[in-house]
Structure 1
Amino acid sequence: MEHRENMVLYNVLNQEVVFEEYFCNLLSIDEFREVFLKFIASKNGVLSNHSIEYRHFDTEVILHNNYGRADLFLNVDNKEFIFEIKNKDYTSLTENQPKGYLEYLKMDIENYNQHLFFLIPSTYSHRQEIFDRWIDFDAVENQIFYWEDLVKEIKNQNLQEKYVEIKMFYDFCEHWFNMRTIKFTGEEMELLKNINVPSLMNKLEDVTRKISLEVGLEEDAEIIGFCYTKKLGEYKIHFGIDYDIWKSKQLPLSILIQNLANNYQEFDLTLEGINLESMEYEESSVSDKQFGYVVMLNEEIGSDSYEAAVKNVLRNMIGQLKQT
């Protein structure tokens, strides 16, 4: 990894409030604003008949009658448009999304379904919740836009090469939303050709599945890649291959516990008879940093005692966390 990702805004635009403020400031650049408005018009033509200038935008606008606070707000030709901005995968929708927003938008019944847009990552974990909450919101799919698509439009128009301010934003987004081209070294290419590598991954997957089935971890679990994720109250248990843990702890298969109540940030946890080691690591759009506890086992993977030890820990852990 390059030092601090070799970008000016590294660890600056992580927070959504700062991100939206910088984005709004970029709308002062005529070409950038034009690209953004055309981007919105690609799905939804409700802004097409307006001559929109930078002065028409504002941020953190408190809506009438305390119906919530708009991240990005557009007021033009006596019409008001709300842009709800999320730049992280996990950030949940608030109570005012939709309760307060709907009440506010319905103040103008004729056009209320034209007044709200969502700007989210393509991997936003609450995307389905938007559809569920806004079930009466006509054509909600035409109100949802993805940052990755906008970043591609910026590149298509070569704006990042024309304006240094846009270049800084573009570099950050390319990193934050995992859009950079992944390159392989010559040594890595040779490893990819090694037939033992897929065989090894298959074995790891087999062990993960076998243990998960035998301890009942697969019940109501979310399975992504080689990892089983199960929610227990305010905790999440991840079992399987976590590549960050593999690199830092030399554990090809691991058990990780995270806390949902504080958005995966630091928390205290002690489990009787289980050796936990704290771990903090960086993520992209998921969070600035994530924190959890990794279970450290004495047994080596592949040994006769390994599977028994993992199953014992998982059952013990599930039992204790259910009681918290």
Structure 2
Amino acid sequence: MQVVHFKEEYSKNKYKVDPNTLDLKFLREICTGEFDAKKYFNESTIYKKTVFLDAPNGHFEGTAEINRFAKNWLKDFKATKAEVHPVIQTIAGGHICNELEIHFHLAKGGVSKVPMTIFSDPIGEDKLEGMRIYFFYQFLPGAIPYRKPIFRPVVNSWASPAVMTGAVRYYYEQLHNYRSSEAIDNIVAMCTEDVHYGGYRPDEAEPLFIGKEALRKVYDGIMVNVPWNNYVRFETFCDDGVTCCTEWTIVVRKTALKDGFINFAGCAMYERAKDGRLYSIRINDNAGFDPGIDRNTISDGDWFIDS
């Protein structure tokens, strides 16, 4: 059984969570096996786009497809039932971000605890116009590490730091600082002594890291590639002043194509302490497990290359 510590560790902070947001209601219903997508989604948005739900187990457009996703939810995880355990909730800028664990009761016995990030876009008081679900691929039986980009970059460049504030802006600037040693020093310095990194992967793949020295080792690895071989383009923001939740697309440098780098989707949550420093960096993606993905399976429209 895979061991995770997301709920166990982060629940200590006793975050305020509204259990009745639309996305949590949606999740609770599909975990019972009973669901009608039209209860939560209109067929199209007010700007004439088909509503969609994107998850590691597929991209689903329209209410009929979302119903298909819901019907297979328990089956995909080889479970008979599941429970939703919210941990951290951020609501801002027209988005809701819920960080949670879903406990799947497996048909073969036992419980699989899966940490997930759910981004949703409420429209009015009773409907959603979109939802994106993120979790580490190893929790889903038979899944591959490739998570195709969800958002198409307007331009193939990293996002403007001007759309960010405080520690998140400074962090993002340092993440793309070519002077890697200086950048890592600056990132570590802007965090609290008990900074937490991770929590979205099982211990077997990557344990939760706590403390500045542990964080430094993490970024020693991350910044071997960023910004040299790729960069992180933030595409959505949900920032309530404490936690900044972002969804992003990895854009590959042209010079890195020969080394097998690919584009993929992920999300990250940056939580500020009371003094403005970063207390937690929670990245939810499959980075590091993408080498070996068959590039021939990637459609032409999902390549975003920095010239």
Q: Under a length normalisation based on structure 2, what TM-score does the superposition of the two structures give?
A: 0.25
Greater percentage in strand: 2
> Greater relative contact order: 1 or 2 (C-alpha under 8 angstroms, separation 6 or more)?
2
Give the structure with higher Rg (CA). Answer: 1
Q: Under a length normalisation based on structure 1, what TM-score does the superposition of the two structures give?
A: 0.24
